[in-house]
Structure 1
Amino acid sequence: MLGWRDERPLKEVLPDKAATLLSKQLGCNTVGDLLAHYPRDYVRHGQDVNFHGAEEGDVVTVSGIVDMSNLRVTKRGQEISVVRLDTGLEASFFGQPWVARIVAPGSHIMLSGKLKFFNGQPQLASPTFALLGGEAAKMAASPQLKQLAQFGSLEELLGDRPWIPIYPATAKVSSWFIMGAIHHVLTQLEHIPEPLDYELPISYDQALRAVHEPGPDGPYLGIHRLKYNEALTVGLVMALRRRDAQAQNAPAMEEVSGGFRESAIAALPFELTQGQQDVVQEISADISRSFPMQRLLQGEVGSGKTMVAVLAMLQAIDAGYQAALLAPTEVLAGQHAASIGGFVPQGVKVVLLTGSMKTAQKRQALLDIVSGEADIVIGTHAIIQDAVEFFNLGMVIVDEQHRFGVEQRDRLRSKTRDGTHPHTLVMTATPIPRTVAMTVFGDLAVSTLRELPGGRKPIESFIVPDSQPAWVERGWQRIREEVSAGRQAYVVCPRIDAEGGVEEVAAELSNGPLADTRITCLHGRMADRDEIMASFARGESDVMVATTVIEVGVDVPNATVMLIREAEKFGVSQLHQLRGRVGRGGNASLCLLHTSAQPGSASFERIEKVAATPSGFELADLDLATRKEGDILGTVQSGTKKTLRLLNLLRDRETIERAEHDAAALVERDPGLAQALVGEFSEQEREYLEKN
């Protein structure tokens, strides 16, 4: 929690049994842990349902005086206890005859359940209940409320609450138990000093208490403040990272008139898009400075990121430095080496280094790198091995950055001369929503390529419902037509084995609708998958049946059609990434989204949106809406999964943007305070963020 931690063990403030239960069931061991276990919802609590405007279907908690209590028996012999309050609300307890015996007219009772109306009268079916007043309340209550009663009088705990918090609970620890434990802790919690040096509509202390025990105005102002705290915490870490980076030394690699970069641009057979020109200038300005560039370049597949990266590397070479490009697979590294080697001006030496190279080739590559003969080094994780020494590394490019661990990226950046850091450009073809970019990549400047170079045609996408056999057959027919025209196709499956897996589908296609085509399989358990992919790229097979291993792979310009089986099994961004594997050669291309999802279902509607939306940037927001923030952030950096408990990256954009602005201002104004405020990050989390 921003600027405040309470590390007192729960056993110091709660009974041992309760503390042990919370530790085992919820993982809460300290006061801070428990107070960070926020409610997932709230229900109204009052004496008059109609007065509070509750609607049918709402879960409400009410209290009042019992006007009538009796036991009824249905024609089928079912016993029902019926309790009516003086407000007119009636509660029925099915199969609980004991309730009528212990609830007497004149009793003060609290009821909690789902509200219904019958002939205009409010009703609750089998609600939880408790008699208020005296020690009898501890016994005369539903089991859930008895858990609450161990923390004090139910009348005191519930009597004046306008809102009841509903907590994430377990079978052994109910929401009522958590509510009681938190109330007990809050009564012993001293006032929390405001950690920030500027005023907000509600203080931190008020916000924390309001979230757990809201007043008449509800919890919303408190929730907003705690969301702001979460966004500000990450914003401060990123702002401090940017500040630290600016204090590091990096080679100032200014543009050279008449150099390799200028020659390469002049020799282009086409004109760079406006987006490419803008990003080239942004990067050029960054690497001309004496502190390390840290920039993220995102853009659709085919938007020209590699061309931008090459021009940046040529500027580094013009200034007398080496550049390294880290690729996720050997096939892609080889393709980059071939395409870049064929593009750069004469006099620029491109060297490939991969783990599968023959010993003599590898020895020569290492010699070229350490001697400075190699200007551009392209490879896989092999280039970060200890045996690889650079003569004068000035720039690092990481392609498809999410495919590499933090340690791998950090090791490559450490291969520079003592006291300097290389300029770093990380690239991704997975569009990133602005709010995710601000939180996950907040220490990086972000450049975006949205335009596609001229000649690239959009990919048409269609849904193929499994419930329409004729449509499925037409899908296979389209693949046959493309193969007959000399093109190639992908068939993507969600699994390797079992029904609908790569091996089964490949066998069915070979003996069925694609019997006259050359089919090859590719999946993650194959040791020679790089060679299989390269063989497909050479045109030695017509159809590749594969898992998502092709999501990041070699370009196959001749592939013009893809059929994704069981598309409902894939995420939105993943479907878009897979779709981007076709249409890379300027030919009209097609993506068929096969699905077993029922029309009208959420899964079917999601696939419809993918089919109708060619823009990955629009789909990125849809993807964010259908995934949990922890899933998104947790895959990129440790710590945020714990830090972001309330913040919603889709709905809280304004809060995130304000926090980012405030964090930058605070770091500029008082870096010492900023460091103190993010002290809650563990050493491991800080180390991760620094390396990232």
Structure 2
Amino acid sequence: MSVTVGTPVSSVMTNKRRVGALKSLGVLTVGDALTYYPFRVTDPVPLRSIREARIGELMAFTAEVRAVRVASSGARGNGRLEVVVDDSAFAASRRQPGAIARLVFFSHKKQYLDWMSGRLRQGTCVVVAGTPGVFNDQLQFTHPEVLTVGMHPTSRYKFVREENQPLDVHNVSLGAPTSPRPDVESPEEGLARVCRPRPVYHASSRISSDHIHDSILDMLRLLAESEDSAVSEEKEEEDSRACLMSGLARAIPDILPERIRADKNLMHRAEAFLNIHDPVSTKEFHRAIATLRYEEAFVCQTALLQARAHAGHASAEPCPDTALRDAMIDSLPFDLTDGQREVIDSIAADMSRDHPMQRLLQGEVGSGKTVVALAAMLQAVGSGHQAVLVAPTQVLAEQHHQTITAMVDRMTEQVVSDSDGHPLSAPPVILLTGGMKLAARRRA
């Protein structure tokens, strides 16, 4: 099946409950999933042996399961799984003595505890990421993230000693699988997964952030594989990511011109999606976010320029008569500022043309925007047309109605004729709101 950004999520996912949960978040297509952005990214998890643990600080390590015990506690049948792990091999690579710690999982569901105890059998090599604490004077990790390793390495493997750095494994002797369904094939792969920065999504009671993350990663792989059959699980991680990127680049075309992208040091659109949902570092995550923000602004500005160019070819009724507007200005109890006069003249010039005006008036509270708006409205009315001032609330509409009515009444009291000597009649100022009764709205 060929997967594109328009492919429905229900067509690529077999878990119907997860499809429904994603639908409740507005994720209906693969493209929706890619644009369901995380609101933050976690910091990289440092590598530490058990003896290097700092209470309350997240850490990651590899260890071997020494003992597993399932116990029940309390009258409500709450269960507890205790797993004793030994990190001697990992600690030796960091020139530290080995130590043991407890991994503790609580649940009232027996199926969960049975499943966890089945994964974490004695002798299993595991990758652990969690926050250490102390209970009964023993180091304990409560509900850590645990990945089982498919092949059990001997104590001769060597790790990079610096924290937050990728793992480097040398001289690994592989034995028999220690888990019927391992999560990863090597400690290197497991530590790379748990130590890497992880995006965090707005979740719900129906689906967690981790499940959202897994679903989006699956869709990214399907997109890449539909475009590039060379993506293989047997490749090294760097090669696999490069192949993944190659396939995504063909499935997700870039929007920004190459010259602009290079000048701004921005990512390809496909690369940005990959580094948002599967970042290799927090720096690359934020660079990807910056790329898509710039892209959004670029598209928005381009659309506005196109709309303005299109409006320049459209026709509109010119409004050249400024007599009514000038009469209102003469009747004001104050003088217009230079800024107000400049804006009114610019708007008047645009309204005198035979194509639509494209303007946005911006000003502080009390800067005289209402006076400028009324001047434009009176230029339209003086040229034989109607003008509408739209307000976001009924209260504001009523306030504008009172203000404009008072200004128009003052104008007719002080100015009895226009510049040509014709009698000046006040234009009607009518209020129309959604809260009015039907008959009143019809009269308006």
Query: Which category of TM-score, normalised to the shorter sequence, fits these structures?
Result: 0.5 to 0.7
Contact 1:280 1:308 in 2 (8 A): yes
CA distance in 2, matches of 1:84, 1:176: 27
The question of 1:238 aligning with 2:304 is answered: yes
CA distance in 1, matches of 2:132, 2:354: 66
Deviations 1:646-669 (A, max 9, x none): xxxxxxxxxxxxxxxxxxxxxxxx
CA distance in 1, matches of 2:372, 2:293: 37
Matched with 1:659 is none
Find the partner of 1:193 among 235, 249, 253.
Answer: 253
Find the partner of 2:199 among 165, 181, 203.
Answer: 165
The code of the aligned residue for 2:14 comes to: P
Find the partner of 2:148 among 131, 134, 137.
Answer: 131
Secondary structure class of the residue paired with 2:361: strand
Contact 1:57 1:115 in 2 (8 A): yes
Contact 1:63 1:111 in 2 (8 A): yes
1:197, distance to aligned residue in structure 2 (A): 2.5
Query: Structure 2-normalised TM-score?
Result: 0.60
1:58, distance to aligned residue in structure 2 (A): 6.0
Correspondence 1:343-492 to 2 at 5 A: 343-344=411-412, 345-347=415-417, 376-381=427-432
The question of 1:289 aligning with 2:361 is answered: no
Matched with 1:29 is 28
The question of 1:39 aligning with 2:38 is answered: yes
Q: How many residues align?
A: 342
CA distance in 2, matches of 1:233, 1:56: 48
Matched with 1:308 is 372
Contact 2:64 2:123 in 1 (8 A): yes
The question of 1:111 aligning with 2:128 is answered: yes
CA distance in 1, matches of 2:45, 2:306: 47
Deviations 1:78-120 (A, max 9, x none): 88544353346945415579768864676332334346699xx
Q: Which entry has the higher C-alpha Rg, 1 or 2?
A: 2
Structure 2: which 5+ residue stretches go unaligned?
92-98, 108-112, 152-176, 228-249, 419-423
Matched with 1:215 is 280
Matched with 2:64 is 66
Distance of aligned partners of 1:333 and 1:198 in 2 relative to their CA distance in 1, 3 Å threshold: same
CA distance in 1, matches of 2:189, 2:294: 29
1:203, distance to aligned residue in structure 2 (A): 0.6
Give percent identity, aligned residues only: 28
Moved more, 275-284 or 220-229: 275-284
The code of the aligned residue for 2:255 comes to: P
The question of 1:176 aligning with 2:174 is answered: no
Distance of aligned partners of 1:169 and 1:229 in 2 relative to their CA distance in 1, 3 Å threshold: same
Matched with 1:326 is 389
Correspondence 1:573-652 to 2 at 5 A: none
Matched with 1:204 is 269
1:71, distance to aligned residue in structure 2 (A): 6.2
Bigger fraction of residues in strand: 1
Contact 2:55 2:132 in 1 (8 A): yes
The code of the aligned residue for 1:93 comes to: V
Deviations 1:150-188 (A, max 9, x none): xx9798985533233333333343333333332322222
CA distance in 1, matches of 2:303, 2:362: 22
Distance of aligned partners of 1:158 and 1:327 in 2 relative to their CA distance in 1, 3 Å threshold: same
1:125, distance to aligned residue in structure 2 (A): 2.8
Query: Structure 1-normalised TM-score?
Result: 0.41
CA distance in 2, matches of 1:171, 1:275: 54
Matched with 1:224 is 290
Structure 1 vs Structure 2 CA RMSD = 4.7
CA distance in 2, matches of 1:308, 1:315: 11
1:275, distance to aligned residue in structure 2 (A): 3.6
1:64, distance to aligned residue in structure 2 (A): 1.4
1:123, distance to aligned residue in structure 2 (A): 6.3
Contact 2:125 2:178 in 1 (8 A): no
Distance of aligned partners of 1:22 and 1:310 in 2 relative to their CA distance in 1, 3 Å threshold: closer
Matched with 1:557 is none
CA distance in 1, matches of 2:24, 2:179: 26
Contact 1:253 1:288 in 2 (8 A): yes
Distance of aligned partners of 1:337 and 1:63 in 2 relative to their CA distance in 1, 3 Å threshold: same
1:206, distance to aligned residue in structure 2 (A): 1.0
CA distance in 1, matches of 2:293, 2:285: 12
